[in-house]
Amino acid sequence: MDSVRQCDLLFTGGHVVTVDDGRNVYEPGAVAVAGDRIVAVGPAAEIEAGWRGARVVDCRGRAVLPGFVDGHSHLFQALARGLGEGQAIWPWLCEFMWPYSIAVDAEDARVAATLGAVEALRSGITTVVDNHYAPTDAETVLSVAGAIEATGLRGVVARGMIGHKTAVAAARGLPDELFRYSVAEELDITRDCMRSRPRGSAVEIWPAPLNLSYGDQELMRGAAGLAHEFGVRWHTHCSEGAKDPASYLDAYGIRPVSWLAAEGLLDERATLAHAVWLDDAETKAVGERGAAVAHNPASNAYLASGVMPLRRLRDAGAVVALGTDGPSAGHRQDMFEVMKQALFAQRLDTLDPAVARCEEALELATREGGRYVGNGAGVLAPGAPADLAVVALDRPHLRPLHRAVAALVYSARGGDVEMTVVGGRVVVEEGRCTLVDEEALLEEAQERAERLVHRAGFGPLTTPWQH
């Protein structure tokens, strides 16, 4: 009797970096996929003896690893890539990003989200948390979610909410045009979007008060309530700038994360982007309450925002994922770059080359990202979602090859990804998206970006050489 079982995809012969509970690396290894799940992982000879694939992918000279999870991005920013340089976070927001976001229309947002999603998939990202805040009407939010899903990417659109203008927002110079909706309207729109794309959708909707430091406290409570009601997580920017905790303390007599903890809002549903400027009590609270943080080292360096206390947060028990922070602040949807930047930032900050290692960086980009989102992704193990990337290792910048994990973190880049699989479907083949006309997309994105830059009054920012 034939004991060989059938599967849809069989990846074999490569360096299989599982990031599973045992942190197994099989060289050569194999991964079997049936439907939208991984069904077997192990040494190539063992898996080949037990499984026959409808399609067999020869992975010799390649690495097979879990798809990356991008814990914080802003895909609508893709049409402003390369502009707004040389400013700290608050001037950058006031003089560049908020005027840009006000000028973005619904079709701009859809095209930008498609472009960012394509770039993400081509660099091995299979799940993204897209913090979308321009524009935020229900139709546009659902259009952006649909555009992301149409590329084959899975994840979340975290709908940015701002509510009414707080005293902190006024003092920080937020423009009036951002305040389109009341707190009640923000929550109602988000609830409607969540009903259209509930938990378990390929692209879910999460509530996302835009920023803890200047956001309305009632809105924060409402967002956490919505997350609990729908069984999902909620998302916010948190203490990204050095002045954020002090401004909150001045306004409310308490630091922002301490307020979340005191209100009972800091729990496993809270996902906090950045969390650079936490004191010891806040760091401890994040860990003890089971909250999660998206670490964005590339954008933190670009805006000179500071270095997140990675070691303290992880030692406290916090879940820490990595994020690109979008095409305007991180500039590339490339988790290889983010992994490397995460390590280098910690080493420069502590002057300790052993404070973080390449294995930890890969964990943050994969399995910890899966914990952060809560979708079980980020590992190659039986029963896990069939989300994976195949990365070429036979290129000059990756040879000689001694350790696949070190090569992936220090030497590989997004362009080395040859194949990306999401939910068992091949969505990138030979380095190109299978579900998108990339040439037409790039042409439309360029045209829309040029019109948008003109509309926003950013002509001077496009000067070829600036002084």
Strands 51-58 vs 5-17: parallel, antiparallel or unpaired: parallel
Q: Per residue in 233-258, pLDDT tens?
A: 999 999 999 999 999 999 999 999 99
Number of neighbouring beta carbons within 10 Å of residue 22: 8
Residue 117 pLDDT more than 60? yes
pLDDT value for 339: 98
CA angle, 272 then 292 then 404, to 5°: 115
- φ/ψ of 245, rounded to 5, equals -65, -40
Triad 107, 113, 115: Cα angle to 5°: 105
Confidence class of residue 1 from pLDDT cuts 50, 70 and 90?
A: very low
The b/e string for 34-46 (b: 16+ C-beta within 10 A; e otherwise) is beebbbbbbbbee
**Which pLDDT band holds residue 330 (cuts at 50, 70, 90)?**
confident
Mean pLDDT of 393-407: 97
Q: Rounded distance, CA 162 to CA 223, Å?
A: 11
pLDDT in tens, 408-461: 999 999 999 999 999 999 999 999 999 999 999 999 999 999 999 999 999 999
Nearest CA among 97, 94, 114, 95 for reference residue 106: 114
User: At residue 128, what are phi and psi to the nearest 5 degrees?
Assistant: -135, 140
Q: What mean pLDDT is predicted for residues 267-294?
A: 98
pLDDT level of residue 2 (50, 70, 90 thresholds):
low
Average pLDDT over residues 201-211: 98
Q: Crossing angle, helix 438-456 and helix 106-122, to 10 degrees?
A: 130
| CB burial of residue 176 (10 Å; 0-12, 13-18, 19+) | exposed
Angle at 436 between CA 434 and CA 439, to 5 degrees: 110
Q: Quote the pTM value.
A: 0.97
Domains and CATH numbers, the chain: 5-66+380-433 (2.30.40.10), 68-373 (3.20.20.140)
Residue 467 is predicted with a pLDDT of 81
Cα 59 to Cα 183: distance, rounded to the nearest angstrom: 52
Q: Work out the average pLDDT over 171-183.
A: 94
Give the closest residue to 123 by CA, choosing from 423, 343, 391.
Answer: 391
* Per-residue pLDDT tens digits for 56-100: 999 999 999 999 999 999 999 999 999 999 999 989 999 999 999
50 pLDDT exceeds 60?
Answer: yes
Mean pLDDT of 7-22: 98
- What are the φ/ψ torsions at residue 178 (nearest 5 degrees)? -70, -25
Dump the DSSP string for 263-300. TT--STTEEEEE--S--HHHHHHHHHTT-EEEE-HHHH
DSSP annotation of 211: B
Please tell me the predicted confidence (pLDDT) of residue 3: 87
Q: Is 258 helix (H, G, I), strand (E, B) or coil?
A: helix
Confidence at residue 27, expressed as pLDDT on a 0 to 100 scale: 97
- Average pLDDT in the chain: 96
Radius of gyration of the chain (CA): 22
Please give the pLDDT value at position 111: 98
Taking Cα atoms as reference points, which of 338, 361, 318, 366 lies closest to residue 127?
A: 366
3-class secondary structure, 176: helix
SS (H, E, C) 305-328: CCCCCHHHHHHHCCEEEECCCHHH
Q: Which are the contacts of 138, defined by CB distance < 8 A and separation ≥ 6?
A: 189, 192, 193, 196
pLDDT tier at 125 (50, 70, 90 boundaries)?
Answer: very high
